[in-house]
Structure 1
Amino acid sequence: MIWNLLASQPEIALFASLALGFFIGSFKFGPIQLGGVCGTLIVALILGQSGARLSPDLKNIAFALFIFALGFTGGPQFFANIGRGWRYGLLSVVELVVVLGLVLGAVALFKLDRGTAAGLLAGAATESAVVGTASEAIGKLALPAAEIARLQANIVTAYSVSYLFGLVTIVLFTSQIAPLMLRVNLRDEAERLWRALGGDSALADGQRLAAPSLVAREVRVTSAADLSIDTLEKRYGNEITVARVVRGRSLVKAQPNLVLKKGDRIVIGGRRTALVEALPAIGEEVIGRDVADVYADTLDVMLTRREVHGLTVAQVRARATSADGRGVYISAVTRLDSTIPALPGTELHRGDVLTLIGSADDVRRGAAKLGYVVRATLKTDFVFLGIGVIAGIVVGHLSARVGGVEVALGTGGGCLLSGLLFGWIRSRYPVIGSLPSAAAQVLKDFGLCTFIAAVGLGAGADAIRLIREYGVALPLAGVVITLGPALVSLAVGRWLLKLEVPMLLGAIAGQQCSTPAISALVSVTGNATPVIGYTITYALSNVLLPLMGPVIVGLAGKVG
């Protein structure tokens, strides 16, 4: 009865796959969590035995929206990191080369077909988007329809098997195995790096990563009498700010040239470490009211200034004039939806969203010097979105012959490149192309999982056949193909590029596009230092790996 209902109304099968898949994917086993995409695929493969099939048009539309949104959100970071992030970018290149080599080795050893090879790459690299680009490439082959359907079914089956083992492998490797191989205590290394970046060890807590290390106190001036406000602030590297001066019963404007007098009550704020150092040399702390309103205003700003890219938070403050930098602080840095520590030694990249904190006038002045204000909006620019997807589809029809292999971007590759370009345009000209982060996330989640559910339902009985045919070969291949680039990157990053261990392991998680791996790393280290390396390789691999879908289909055909 239920099987007949699913076959006659496949939309029920779609939403059942999404609901049950995300429910299954939400469970955690230690640091391991399947996630909604893999959960959806597993449920869809089971429900596909009913004969329920979704329209190919729905599948294509869903994937186009997902891949465009993926490129759009990553565009600013991708272009920002192409040049200056070359050390981490090299690890993404290692990922591509080693994974392709190992997959082609598995093709020759086990006589894999193109679909199984593509699914193995997608699963072992834990990059779901490869399923779409490879499936589309197979659909364009000059083969009978039944053979194309079989190969596309093999993609999702091989992906589901190898993804599970690849996920477990990369999580355990980055958080447990690699530190043992390097003979380091990962938590101690992360604490040392946190301090080296200018962090307060009291804040190196995994549950308080985004909390600004900014404080405010009211002080009665004694030792700092006869000093001007500007002199006092410069003495501590402009990491403190006198925000209010009460002299007698009068409120005096805290201008830089104002000379403090003994007995003045001042509200002073800034970074915790600087303020703790300064207080004894200023006077005695008193209990005051409304101290918190010194940092009552916050503003999110996307960093677009080319001259700021690559500078640390401390360098940005040092290069700012007293008038521009006074009273405004960076309390958080968001990169690709990940929060990285806003420490003095944290390097800023174009495309980062900086949370500025201070008085209303100060944060507005700081925003104008750094980029443009990210306004909270629920409105999506569908003109921009529609033109972007159309441009991607047009570009996707272009093809070229490389080494005797016909390679075409397809709709997936075209929309990915189009999304990158349109996302970059949006970062340069913020008055156009609004796509709120929440809307982009819905497009990515719903688009990818709808596509995955569609191909999973279509796989049908082919899934069981493929698992029986190869047995343990696919899981073992998934483990080897996941470990290969991780081991090479560990050696290259540690001994050639001299990267710090927490950021190196974060970069390895990023080159694998593994969110569970970076979550496990942050839990083990106790702070967000691994996220700094993760965001760069994640931005690059999230673009480069999906483009390998058509490539592996072509190469596997030659090797096989």
Structure 2
Amino acid sequence: MIGELLRSQPEIALFASLAIGYFIGSFRVGPIQLGGVCGTLIVALLLGQTGARLAPDLKNIAFALFIFALGFTGGPQFFANIGRGWRYGLLSVVEIVSVLVLIMIAVLVMRLDAGTAAGLLAGAATESAVIGTASEAIAKLGFSDAETLRLQANIVTAYSVSYLFGLITIVLFTSQFAPLLLRVNLREEAERVWHKLGGDGAFGEGQRAAAPALVGRAFRVDAAAGGTIQAFEQKHGFNLTIEQVRRNGADVPVEPQLALAAGDLILVGGRREAMVAAAASLGEEVVDAGFGQIIAQKLDVVLTRGDAHGLTVAQLRERAKPEDGRGIYIAAVTRLETTVPALPGTELNRGDVLTLVGAKADVERGARNLGYVLTATQKTDFVYLGLGVLVGMAIGHLGGRIGGVSIALGTGGGCLLSGLLFGWIRSRHPLVGSLPSAAAQILKDFGLATFIAAVGLSAGPDAIKLVREYGLALPVAGILMVLVPGLLSLWIGRAFLKLEAPMLLGAIAGQQCSTPAISALVGVTGNSTPVIGYTITYALSNILLPLMGPVVVGLAGKFG
């Protein structure tokens, strides 16, 4: 009876897969969490035994929206890191090359078909988008409908088997085994790097400093009398700003050349460590001086200045004219929806979202000099979105033969490239193409989950056959496809690129597109230094791995 209901109303099977799948995926065992996408796939494979199917058009539309949004949100960071972030980007190249070599070895040794080979890539690399690009490539091979469905089902089954083992392996490798191989105490190393970058404490994910990084305090001038405001601020590296001066009960206009007089009440704002260092040279601290709040506004600004790309936060302040940088503080850096520690030694990339804090006039001036204000909006530019997907579909028709191997991008690969282009254009011309981050996240989450549910339902009947055929070979292959690239990157990153251990391990988690791995790393290190390496390789691998789906299908089809 249930089977008949699901066959007659497949939308029930879709939302049951989403609800139950995300519920299963929410459970955590230590640092391991399946996630909603894998949970949805498992439930869809089970419900697929009843014969419930979703329309192919729904599956194609869902994947096109997901892959376009993926490219759109990653476009600015992808282009920003493709050149200057070469040290970390090289690790993504190591990932791509090594998994392709390992896949071809598995194809020749295990006699894998194109679908199983692509599913192994998707699962071991924990990159679900490969399922879509590979499925489209298989549809263009010219096989019968039955054979095409069988190969596409093999993608999903191989993915579901190898994903779990790939996920466990990358989490344990980055957070437990790799530090042993490097012979480092990861927590101590992360704390050392945090201080090296200019941090004055080590705070983990979800934690906030009890003593805020930006503070305001009032003083009665004593020892600092006679010095100018500009000289005082310059002495402390412009990490402090005198916002208000009250002399003989009246406010005095704050000018750079204004000389402080004994008995002046001054309101000073800036970084806490600079405030502690300067307090003794100012005079007695005054309680309740009647001053207003100095931190008047917080503004999110997208960094678009080309000459700022690659500079650290400290270098950006040093190179700014005193009148341009005065009173502006970077309180947070957001990259690919991930918060990067805003330390003096943190490198900035074009496309980063900088949270500026300071007086209203100061942060507005800073926004004009650095990029554009990220306006809070809930509206999506559907003209831009629709045009982007159409361009992606047109690009998807491009293809050809390379060395006798037929390769076609398909709608998935085309929409991914189109999303990259349209996201980059949006970062350069912010007046067009609004796609709020929350809306983009919905497109990615719901689009991918719907696509995964659709392919899982259609693959259900063939799943058991593939598992019986290969047995333990697929899990073992999945583990090796994580360990080999991971070990290579560990050796290259440490011996040749001289990367710090926390950032290197974060980059290895990013090259595998593994969010659980970076979460486990942040928990082990006690601070967010691994995120600095993670965001760069994640941006590159998240784009390059899906494009490998058609390549693996073409190679496996020729040699498998």
TM-score of the alignment, normalized to the shorter chain, above 0.5? yes
Match of 2:206 in 1: 207
- The verdict on how the C-alpha distance between 1:290 and 1:125 changes in structure 2, with shifts beyond 3 A counting, is farther
Give, in whole Å, the separation in 2 of the partners of 1:373 and 1:440: 18
Give, in whole Å, the separation in 1 of the partners of 2:208 and 2:321: 29
**How many pairs were matched up?**
559
**How many Å apart are 1:215 and its aligned residue?**
1.2
Match of 2:255 in 1: 255
Match of 2:345 in 1: 345
Match of 1:139 in 2: 139
**How many Å apart are 1:261 and its aligned residue?**
1.0
Letter in 2 for 1:524: V
Contact 1:209 1:340 in 2 (8 A): no
Match of 2:61 in 1: 61
Is residue 488 of structure 1 aligned with residue 488 of structure 2? yes
Match of 1:328 in 2: 328
Give, in whole Å, the separation in 2 of the partners of 1:448 and 1:122: 14
**How many Å apart are 1:142 and its aligned residue?**
1.2
Match of 2:304 in 1: 304
Give, in whole Å, the separation in 2 of the partners of 1:340 and 1:240: 23
Contact 1:210 1:332 in 2 (8 A): no
Match of 2:185 in 1: 185
**How many Å apart are 1:263 and its aligned residue?**
1.3
Identity %: 71
Using the TM superposition, name which of 385-394 and 99-108 deviates more. 99-108
Contact 1:216 1:291 in 2 (8 A): no
Task: Spell out the pairing of 1:410-421 with structure 2 (5 A cutoff).
Answer: 410-421=410-421
- The verdict on how the C-alpha distance between 1:81 and 1:292 changes in structure 2, with shifts beyond 3 A counting, is farther
Is residue 393 of structure 1 aligned with residue 409 of structure 2? no
Give, in whole Å, the separation in 2 of the partners of 1:185 and 1:60: 47
Match of 2:75 in 1: 75
Match of 1:422 in 2: 422
Query: Secondary structure of 1:331's partner?
Result: strand
Give, in whole Å, the separation in 2 of the partners of 1:522 and 1:272: 24
Give, in whole Å, the separation in 1 of the partners of 2:180 and 2:17: 40
Letter in 2 for 1:521: L
Cα displacement string for residues 289-322 of structure 1 (whole angstroms, at most 9, x for unaligned residues)? 6778211310000000001000000011001111
Match of 2:161 in 1: 161
Give, in whole Å, the separation in 1 of the partners of 2:135 and 2:418: 20
Query: Secondary structure of 1:453's partner?
Result: helix
Match of 2:99 in 1: 99
Match of 1:402 in 2: 402
Contact 1:426 1:432 in 2 (8 A): yes
Contact 2:407 2:550 in 1 (8 A): yes
Question: What runs of 5+ residues in structure 2 fail to find an aligned partner?
Answer: none
**How many Å apart are 1:559 and its aligned residue?**
2.0
Cα displacement string for residues 421-475 of structure 1 (whole angstroms, at most 9, x for unaligned residues)? 0000000000000000000000000000100000000002101111111111111
Contact 1:191 1:204 in 2 (8 A): no
Is residue 45 of structure 1 aligned with residue 41 of structure 2? no
Letter in 1 for 2:119: G
Using the TM superposition, name which of 390-399 and 285-294 deviates more. 285-294
Is residue 517 of structure 1 aligned with residue 552 of structure 2? no
Cα displacement string for residues 208-229 of structure 1 (whole angstroms, at most 9, x for unaligned residues)? 3699611111111111011111
**How many Å apart are 1:288 and its aligned residue?**
2.4
What RMSD, in angstroms, separates the aligned Cα atoms of the two structures? 1.2
- Runs of 4+ displaced beyond 3 Å: 203-212, 289-292
Question: What runs of 5+ residues in structure 1 fail to find an aligned partner?
Answer: none
Contact 2:203 2:209 in 1 (8 A): no
**How many Å apart are 1:206 and its aligned residue?**
3.7
**How many Å apart are 1:515 and its aligned residue?**
0.4
Query: Secondary structure of 2:258's partner?
Result: coil
Letter in 1 for 2:455: V
Query: Secondary structure of 1:333's partner?
Result: strand
**How many Å apart are 1:400 and its aligned residue?**
1.8
Give, in whole Å, the separation in 2 of the partners of 1:295 and 1:13: 52
- TM-score w.r.t. the length of structure 1 is 0.98
Task: Spell out the pairing of 1:434-445 with structure 2 (5 A cutoff).
Answer: 434-445=434-445
Contact 1:209 1:527 in 2 (8 A): no
Query: Secondary structure of 2:106's partner?
Result: helix
Match of 1:8 in 2: 8
Contact 1:216 1:292 in 2 (8 A): no
**How many Å apart are 1:205 and its aligned residue?**
3.9
Give, in whole Å, the separation in 2 of the partners of 1:499 and 1:330: 25
